[in-house]
């Protein structure tokens, strides 16, 4: 850990965050469950495997096209359990509220939490509320932590991707980040961009039904697709090649990225999963995904290789190849 | 929920907080585990009973005599599991960091987290880090959530206290709140007051060994002893009578309370548990507690009755009786 102070960029899902987590946070706490650094920890309780996860949400603004901090907090934690191959069961809910928050704002967020949890079939079983003085927080922060039951026979990890396997995503990249930043900056587009925030368990359950051999699943949140692919390449000691033409990005998102100077591969999603499975099963996975409302635009975007270990390469639309680097710091602060 | 905005007092562990939780938060999320409103939720996973809990910590200052936000975050969540009769197993750890926090501050907090978890035998299995811009948080907030295994044969709840049972505490009241507020206000006492922050599982395990019939256990945090006793009287539809002369309070804490205008019964503790057990088992419980370093000053402070249902009465030192009310709002903001 080189920096003397914590920077916004340390929360960005990139190299700086990895330095903070791996250099400072994890060493003193080391244990096998933590050291995997996957989206959920796999633990044993009375002989059964459970997944546990936690996330704090600090998105600004609280309400954005397609969602709000409440929906985000429920979906994000459901998704972290789901990509570990765990059926989400129970969530905890903790609020840090800035004094002066309109009660009606909290009421709307709670309504959204309630609807999202109910639709996804998870129960919010316990909670906590803290209030801090004006100016000591930004309206509302939410932590959700969750427990899920690992589906028997699956073994999913960022470290499990094997050369030859296919890389699949369930739809276009970058919607969430652009929706939030557009709202925050007060910019309107002719075609409005809506966050993709969604609970992915229903989709992932179908994938695991047809393909329990899935090697890796990650939701592409902070740092976007680029961060996920780099993490997998690094953890699995493999290379990954993706094809630019096959990576879905909406025109409106591409336009917004051009305007803001972002690369859609680095923009956060909140309803997108990257799935790596044996090549011979990818058609079955794709078919299952396309039959689900959250997977209609699913597509195979590339392969795992045994060349350029730890690297992600992209075959560009003009026939070249470029390295897709791990993001360094923070492209879009406070998008989740 | 009457107020149009959220007030500091809504986080104080008193009537206003109950109004917020029971009037606004719980109704939309209702399920049997949540509706108990105990310190932990009891849930089933693959047929086994687990306890789940969550707490966010916003204490100011981050370091205080006897502890820091890291130790507090680990102990507080361990204690919420313990008082549910659950052996604490796994914790999650989530940071919200204000940009500009010295890395060294985070390092010290992590060191404290690591030592506290290690001593208590719990594993921190997964985590999350968010960074918000300067002025949008106050240095560092921490959420810890936890999972524990319910000890077989115990059934502990704020609703289980029975008339005739004894009320026991493990030591003096009010140390934590006074230690934090003294540090925050920069006031030094001749006899310094040190926070009682401690992980209580070791003590509670011994109590459950000798008395699995414990009816109620609560750690007396926000709102202090008064809030706990009132919650139990209300949930158990019973009366509670305590004796002022038997409630331990250190002289230094009493002096500080006189100075600040506080009542020690309402001041937060972070290493104190209120135990209610059948009268015929209270000697055995007391003996087990006194044999443990965290229970040396344990004492029986009163009884559960079937009079003045829902009320807490105190027999005063001068021979009178007074009602110990549920606190309304916030006596000491941000003490946990």
Q: What pTM does this model have?
A: 0.97
CB atoms A125 and B95 under 8 Å: no
User: How close B319 comes to chain A (CA, Å)?
Assistant: 38
Q: For chain A, where are the alpha helices, taking DSSP H only?
A: 15-20, 32-35, 69-82, 103-120, 175-185, 201-210, 224-236, 251-260, 282-290
CB atoms A50 and B149 under 8 Å: no
Distance CA A303, CA A22 (A): 27
Task: Give the pLDDT confidence of B33-80 residue by residue, as tens digits.
Answer: 998 888 899 999 888 899 999 999 999 999 999 999 999 999 999 999
Instruction: Show residues of chain B in contact with A93, CB under 8 Å.
Output: 29, 54
At the topology level, CATH places domain A158-323 in Phosphoribosyl-aminoimidazole Synthetase; Chain A, domain 2 (3.90.650)
Mean pLDDT calculated for residue range B272-297: 98
Instruction: Show residues of chain B in contact with A112, CB under 8 Å.
Output: none
Minimum-distance CB partner of A96 among B89, B98, B141: B141
Distance CA B256, CA B188 (A): 10
Q: Return the pLDDT at A2.
A: 81
CATH match of B8-150 with 3.30.1330.10: yes
Q: What is the mean pLDDT of chain A?
A: 95
Alpha-carbon dihedral angle through residues A84, A88, A91, A96, given to the nearest 10 degrees: 50
**A46 falls in which pLDDT band (50, 70, 90)?**
confident
CB atoms B126 and A40 under 8 Å: yes
Task: Give the pLDDT confidence of B210-252 residue by residue, as tens digits.
Answer: 999 999 999 999 999 999 999 999 999 999 999 999 999 999 9
CB atoms A31 and B126 under 8 Å: no
User: How close B190 comes to chain A (CA, Å)?
Assistant: 30
CB atoms B149 and A46 under 8 Å: yes
Please check the confidence at residue B1 and state whether its pLDDT lies above 80: no
Instruction: Show residues of chain A in contact with B18, CB under 8 Å.
Output: none
DSSP B88-153: EEEEEEEEEEETT-BHHHHHHHHHHHHHHHHHHT-EEEEEEEEEE-TTSS-SEEEEEEEEEEEPTT
Please check the confidence at residue B178 and state whether its pLDDT lies above 80: yes
Q: Return the pLDDT at A47.
A: 82
Distance CA B53, CA A128 (A): 9
Q: What is the mean pLDDT of chain B?
A: 95
Q: Return the pLDDT at A130.
A: 96
Minimum-distance CB partner of B130 among A11, A93, A149: A11
Q: How many CB pairs under 8 A join A and B?
A: 286
- pLDDT above 90: percentage of residues in chain B: 88
Higher pLDDT, A15 or A168: A168
> Which of A232, A247, A249 is CA-nearest to residue A304?
A232
Mean pLDDT calculated for residue range A91-114: 97
Domains A8-150 and A158-323 alike in fold: no
Distance CA B203, CA B292 (A): 6
CB atoms A53 and B92 under 8 Å: yes
Please check the confidence at residue A286 and state whether its pLDDT lies above 80: yes
Minimum-distance CB partner of A3 among B50, B57, B103: B103
Please check the confidence at residue B290 and state whether its pLDDT lies above 80: yes
User: How close A310 comes to chain B (CA, Å)?
Assistant: 24
Please check the confidence at residue A160 and state whether its pLDDT lies above 90: yes
List the domain boundaries for chain A.
8-150, 158-323
**A120 falls in which pLDDT band (50, 70, 90)?**
very high
Cα–Cα separations (whole angstroms), residue B303 to A159, A277, B198, B300, B325: 57, 63, 26, 8, 17
Q: Which residue has the tokens 């400072």?
A: A24
Distance CA B257, CA B265 (A): 10
Task: Give the pLDDT confidence of B118-176 residue by residue, as tens digits.
Answer: 999 999 999 999 999 999 999 999 999 999 999 999 999 999 999 999 999 999 999 99
Q: Return the pLDDT at A93.
A: 97
Q: Return the pLDDT at A107.
A: 96
Instruction: Show residues of chain A in contact with B98, CB under 8 Å.
Output: 6
């Amino acid at each position: 850990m080189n920096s003397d102070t914590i920077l916004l960029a340390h929360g960005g899902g990139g190299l700086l965050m990895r330095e903070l987590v791996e250099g400072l946070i994890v060493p003193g706490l080391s244990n096998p469950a933590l050291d995997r650094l996957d989206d959920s920890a796999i633990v044993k309780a009375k002989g059964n495997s459970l997944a546990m996860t936690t996330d704090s949400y600090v998105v600004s603004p609280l309400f954005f096209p397609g969602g709000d901090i409440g929906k985000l907090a429920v979906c994000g934690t459901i998704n972290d359990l789901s990509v570990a191959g765990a059926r989400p069961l129970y969530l905890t809910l903790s609020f840090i509220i800035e004094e002066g928050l309109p009660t009606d704002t909290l009421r709307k967020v709670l309504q959204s939490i309630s609807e999202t949890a109910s639709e996804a079939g998870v129960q919010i079983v316990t909670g906590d509320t803290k209030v801090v003085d004006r100016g000591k927080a930004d309206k509302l922060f939410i932590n959700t932590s969750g427990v899920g039951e690992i589906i028997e026979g699956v073994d999913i990890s960022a470290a499990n991707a094997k050369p030859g396997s296919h890389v699949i995503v369930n739809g276009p990249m970058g919607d969430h980040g652009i929706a939030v930043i557009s709202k925050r900056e007060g910019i309107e587009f002719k075609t409005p961009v809506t966050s993709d925030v969604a609970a992915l368990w229903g989709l992932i359950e179908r994938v695991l039904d047809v393909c329990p051999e899935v090697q890796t699943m990650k939701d592409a949140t902070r740092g976007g697709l680029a961060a996920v692919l780099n993490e997998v390449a690094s953890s699995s000691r493999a290379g990954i090649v993706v094809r630019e033409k096959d990576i879905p990005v909406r025109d409106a998102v591409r336009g917004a990225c051009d305007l803001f100077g972002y690369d859609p591969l680095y923009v956060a999603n909140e309803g997108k999963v990257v799935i790596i499975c044996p090549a011979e099963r990818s058609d079955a996975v794709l078919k299952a995904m396309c039959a689900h409302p959250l997977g209609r635009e699913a597509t195979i975007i590339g392969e795992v290789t045994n060349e350029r270990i730890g690297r992600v390469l992209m075959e560009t639309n003009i026939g070249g190849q470029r390295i897709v680097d791990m993001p360094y710091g923070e492209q879009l602060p406070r998008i989740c």
